[in-house]
Amino acid sequence: MQQESALEGIKVLDLGRVIAAPYAAAFLADMGAEVIKVEVPGIGDDARQYLPLNGYFANFNRSKKGITLDLKKGKEIFLKLVKEADVLIENFRPGVMAKLGFGYDELKKINPGLIYCAVSGFGQTGPMSQTAGYDPLIQAMSGIVSITGHPGEEPVRCGAPLCDILSAVNAAYGVVCALQYRSRTGKGQMIDIAIVDQGIFVQASTNQFYLSERKIPQRLGNGYAAGAPGGLYHAKDGYYMFAGSGDAAWKKISVAWGKPELAEAPDYKDRTARTTNRIAVDKMMNDWSADKTVEECIAFFKGLKLACGPVLDAEQVYNDEHFGKNGVRQMFTSVNVDGVGEIEITNQAVKMSETNPVVRCAPPKLGQHNFEVLAELGYSEAEITAFKEDGII
Amino acid sequence: MQQESALEGIKVLDLGRVIAAPYAAAFLADMGAEVIKVEVPGIGDDARQYLPLNGYFANFNRSKKGITLDLKKGKEIFLKLVKEADVLIENFRPGVMAKLGFGYDELKKINPGLIYCAVSGFGQTGPMSQTAGYDPLIQAMSGIVSITGHPGEEPVRCGAPLCDILSAVNAAYGVVCALQYRSRTGKGQMIDIAIVDQGIFVQASTNQFYLSERKIPQRLGNGYAAGAPGGLYHAKDGYYMFAGSGDAAWKKISVAWGKPELAEAPDYKDRTARTTNRIAVDKMMNDWSADKTVEECIAFFKGLKLACGPVLDAEQVYNDEHFGKNGVRQMFTSVNVDGVGEIEITNQAVKMSETNPVVRCAPPKLGQHNFEVLAELGYSEAEITAFKEDGII
């Protein structure tokens, strides 16, 4: 049975490039919105050239239609598209759309219900609005890098582009909230997503130490600020992550190690004592596991009903029976790209019983839906052919 | 002028504990929904005890009302609340709500329009559904830890709880999409958010190397897979992050260094060559900056119109003139907690022109709105007092 979709009937213009804005539009597309990706004639989104070729582009642009349009020469066509649209998403440098005559203040005159979502590195206004916002740079400037890595060593970025991805999810969230508002009032609005905001926002819990106590959060490596044991430990063939720093957990471990006295020792008996003596606690954990395999360590802690797991790589994740390719979570899916074949991509992380987001179709070839979309706007085949010849589309 | 809100008129029951589910509910609350946090009588959400005391809880529970309710003894009250609600959010271990008689299949009988959002570590079904999902453990098991840290060294988790936070944003996004669907059809649905899914999802771009080419992404430290120079470099007083690995950038740098020949040298002239010789390129960057301050390095690259920035800590972020406390991004706000005073918290990362999400009120004291909420359900003052005496609320 074909499922229904949450955003049926919603039209989205996607002027985005690379990750954040295109991915936001893909989320809306998987939810059932009709998304038209608008690209530069003959060139297209830079991401078409990103590695892995086809795969990168497919992931961030599945489920969309695509047209080409020169925004300078094709002003009339663009304004017709805007008139029909519910949502516009773009991630040009702030001011670029206004310079083209397409700022929100102009567009709302022809479509007062338009939801205009702009994604940028540092937001639409203020002293840094013109600064480019690459994810690693944002990770550095928002504080994430300062709290990632081992104490006393060089800080390091998170390997995943979390600020880009959070921008995309928050953009999609903002758009759907704006649709709710519009359904009550008929009014559209402007949404201003800054990638730097995401970096600050994702640190809400660690920021709080500064906000409440003016203590600057430090790098803790794989440890915790709030308790021990906890974090990454060494087995003879790799690492395992352990989470269970409470007193009851420590008692179970002490007994299972045949050292029940550790649960009563002044240096270790409660969370505060163990946190103070974290280095000694971590050494006990590492000494215990040094001659065991990761599998043995995990089995031991799971036997005590404590939380413990391996450090998996992308291949192990893909093959996991619970959350991998064939697992219940269905976190990988695929699209069939004409001339390329089946391309596997990462799936949505929202699962819904009635309107589950699903990949609708392969990403568009450059200009694939020019005729279809322009014909719907009322242009004749002869006009569309002329647009093509004039480099407008 | 008091702004309007996107989710006015939406009622949310928040049965969440700690981060993911409570934060999702806080997003909806800041967007204008009426959120009632339901806590265990006399005890409440564990997060009330988390450090920093008051601050942690305030951040994740601002803008809500709060009641206490024993879900076993107070079944009738709970079902009345569900009947009036649009949304229910919970993060119990899968199966707990069903055992209480409050599984989605039961609740939809009395409220077919209910949107039931369950957040858990590994999802509602499958072999691992009963496994607890702490953020560091999820970071390890979803692959994030495997790609974070320096090559050849111990992997490390990201210092921010990104999987928890993404769970919250995706939960809120799913809920509002479900509201859209319900406004067309009257039907509610079940949303199943797994924290592990978020860890996989945030790696979409790096996963793609495995999905397309069966290459397992590795730790790159602060470097890039796709080009050089790029990443974190050493100045004499700290680090700076540089993003600009294209050929045009390299040419500008070579000329500005007074070594234009580097732009033509076979080992460095194009992106592929520089990526192959990344170690030499990084050494040139580090050698150049070793006797300069971070500020001088950033000024140099900004002068060339290349992207470069400092590694800031929480205090520097807070004091930043663009994205700090007094900056245009308004990423910090505050609530006034009775008996505690003004508590600063982290703000939302979605900025909207008409329905900007804003903090509505301080987090509730335990059971603060018991009388108000139960009176609205039709209970008399005498009944409510009796509930209190019987430990039901």
pLDDT digits (tens, 9 = 90+) for B17-45: 999 999 999 999 999 999 999 999 999 99
Q: Which residues pair with B344 in a beta bridge?
A: B334
Helix H or strand E encompassing B193: strand B189-194
Catalytic residue among A45, A86, A135, A164: A164
User: What is the reported pLDDT for A28?
Assistant: 98
Residue B1 has pLDDT above 50, yes or no: no
Nearest CB among B53, B225, B329 relative to A194 is that of B329
Residue A164: active-site member: yes
Q: Which long-range contacts (CB under 8 A, 24 or more apart) does B247-255 make?
A: B247/B271, B249/B304, B249/B306, B250/B274, B252/B304, B252/B305, B252/B306, B253/B229, B253/B301, B253/B304, B253/B306
Contact of A345 with A55, CB cutoff 8 Å: yes
Pick from A161, A320, A22: nearest CA to B204: A161
The minimal CB distance from B307 to the residues A7, A132, A173 is found for A132
**Contact between A203 and B122 using a beta-carbon 8 Å cutoff:** no
Tokens of A6: 């949450």
Q: B244: pLDDT confidence band, cut at 50, 70 and 90?
A: confident
d(CA B221, CA A95) in angstroms, rounded, equals 35
| pLDDT the model gives residue A1 | 43
Q: What is the mean pLDDT of chain A?
A: 96
Interface of A with B in 163-182 (CB under 8 A): 165-166, 169-174, 176-181
Is the Cβ pair A309, B353 closer than 8 Å?
A: no
CB B197 within 8 Å of CB B122? no
- Helix boundaries (H) for B186-227: 195-201, 204-213
Of residues B161, B190, B211, nearest to A332 (C-beta): B211
Q: Give pLDDT, residue A3.
A: 75
pLDDT of residue A260 exceeding 60, the answer is yes
Task: Pinpoint the alpha helices (H) of B31-144.
Answer: 55-61, 75-84, 96-99, 104-110, 135-141
What confidence score (pLDDT) does residue B58 get?
97
Distance CA(A63)–CA(A32), nearest Å, equals 9
B109: exposed, middle or buried (Cβ count in 10 Å: 0-12, 13-18, 19+)? exposed
Which of B45, B164, B192, B197 is catalytic? The answer is: B164
d(CA B144, CA B193): 18
- A-B CB pairs within 8 A amount to 508
What per-residue confidence (pLDDT) applies to B302? Answer: 93
Q: Cα distance from A78 to chain B (closest Cα, Å)?
A: 23
- Output the pLDDT for position A272: 85
Q: Decide if pLDDT at B212 tops 50.
A: yes
Q: Output the CA torsion B176→B182→B188→B194 (10° steps).
A: -30
Q: What is the pLDDT of residue A95?
A: 97
Q: Do A352 and B143 touch (CB under 8 A)?
A: no
Q: What is the pLDDT of residue B224?
A: 74
A235-244, A270-279, A348-357, B339-348: range with lowest mean pLDDT:
A270-279
Interchain contact A330–B (C-beta under 8 A): no
pLDDT at A50: 87
* pLDDT for B275 beyond 90: no
A221 contacts in B (CB within 8 Å)? Answer: 154, 156
Write phi, then psi, for A377 (nearest 5 degrees): -75, -5
pLDDT of A2: 53
pLDDT digits (tens, 9 = 90+) for B56-80: 999 999 999 999 999 999 999 999 9
pLDDT value for B272: 85
**Helix (H) or strand (E) segment spanning residue A311:** none
CB atoms near residue B351 (< 10 Å): 24
Whether the CB-CB separation of B362 and B350 falls below 8 Å is answered with no
| Token pair belonging to B47 | 């997060």
Q: From chain B, pick out residues whose CB is under 8 angstroms from the CB of A22.
A: none
Q: Looking at the complex, does the CB of residue A299 fall below 8 Å from at least one CB of chain B?
A: no
Paired tokens of B92: 């119990």
Asked if A20 has any chain B CB less than 8 Å from its own CB, the reply is: no
Q: How many other CB atoms are found less than 10 A from the CB of residue B389?
A: 9
Structure tokens at B151: 């090559």
CB contact under 8 A, A171 and B239: no
**pLDDT tens-place string over residues A288-346:** 999 999 999 999 999 999 999 999 999 999 999 999 999 999 999 999 999 999 999 99
Phi, psi (degrees; rounded to nearest 5) at B362 = -70, 160
Of all helices (H) and strands (E), which one includes residue B244?
A: none
ipTM of the prediction: 0.96
Residue A382 near chain B (CB below 8 Å): no
Of A180, A211, A313, the CB nearest to B216: A313
Chain B residues whose beta carbon lies within 8 Å of the beta carbon of residue A123: 323, 328-329, 351
Compare all CA atoms of chain A with the CA of B315 and give the residue at the minimum distance.
A216
Beta strands at B238-243 and A332-337: parallel, antiparallel or unpaired: unpaired
Question: Out of B25-39, B212-226, B241-255, which region has the weakest mean confidence (pLDDT)?
Answer: B212-226
DSSP code of A46? G
pLDDT at residue A82 greater than cutoff 90:
yes
Chain A contact for B112 (CB, 8 A cutoff)? no
Which residues of chain A have a CB within 8 Å of the CB of B86? none
Task: Look up residue B159 and give its DSSP letter.
Answer: S
Rounded Cα–Cα distance for residues B183 and A110 (Å): 26
Task: State phi, psi for A65 to the nearest 5 degrees.
Answer: -90, 165
Q: Note which residues in 123-152 of chain A have CB less than 8 A from chain B.
A: 123, 125-128, 131-132, 134, 136-137, 139-150
Kindly report the CA angle at A209 between B352 and B347, in degrees rounded to 5? Answer: 5
C-alpha distances out from residue A76 to A71, A125, A198, B154, Å? 9, 28, 35, 57
DSSP H/E element including A218: none
Query: Beta strands A115-120 and A87-90: pairing type?
Result: parallel
Angstrom distance (rounded) from CA A44 to CA A218: 43
Q: Report CB contact under 8 Å: A323, B142.
A: yes
Q: Which helix H or strand E contains A39, and what residues bound it?
A: strand A34-39
| Closest in A160, A171, A232 to B202, CB measured | A160
CB contact under 8 A, B323 and A192: no
Scanning B257-296 for CB atoms below 8 A from A yields: none
How buried is residue B59: exposed, middle or buried, by Cβ count under 10 Å (0-12/13-18/19+)?
buried
Chain B residues in contact with A313 (beta carbon < 8 A) = 143, 146-147, 216-217
Count other C-beta atoms under 10 Å from residue B203's C-beta. 25
Residue A297, C-beta contacts closer than 8 angstroms, at least 6 positions apart? A233, A235, A240, A289, A308
Q: What is the pLDDT of residue B246?
A: 87
Give strand pairing partners of B119.
B193
Task: Read off the amino acid at residue A226.
Answer: A
| pLDDT (0 to 100) of residue A271 | 84
Contact status, residue A346 vs residue B199, Cβ threshold 8 Å? no
Q: What is the pLDDT of residue B2?
A: 53
Q: At how many degrees (to 10) do helices A162-185 and B162-185 cross? A: 20
Q: Which helix (H) or strand (E) holds B256?
A: helix B247-256
Residue found under tokens 């794989």: A222
Interface list for A 179-208 with B (CB within 8 A): 179-181, 183-185, 187, 189-194, 196-198, 200-208
Confidence class for position B359, pLDDT limits 50, 70, 90: very high
CB B176 to CB A176 under 8 A? yes
What average pLDDT score do residues B381-393 get? 97
Q: Do B157 and A148 touch (CB under 8 A)?
A: yes
pLDDT higher than threshold 90 for residue B194? yes
Work out whether the CA dihedral A270, A273, A279, A280 comes out positive or negative.
negative
- Chain A partners within 8 Å of B348 (Cβ): 201
Residues of A in contact with B131 (CB under 8 A): 307, 309
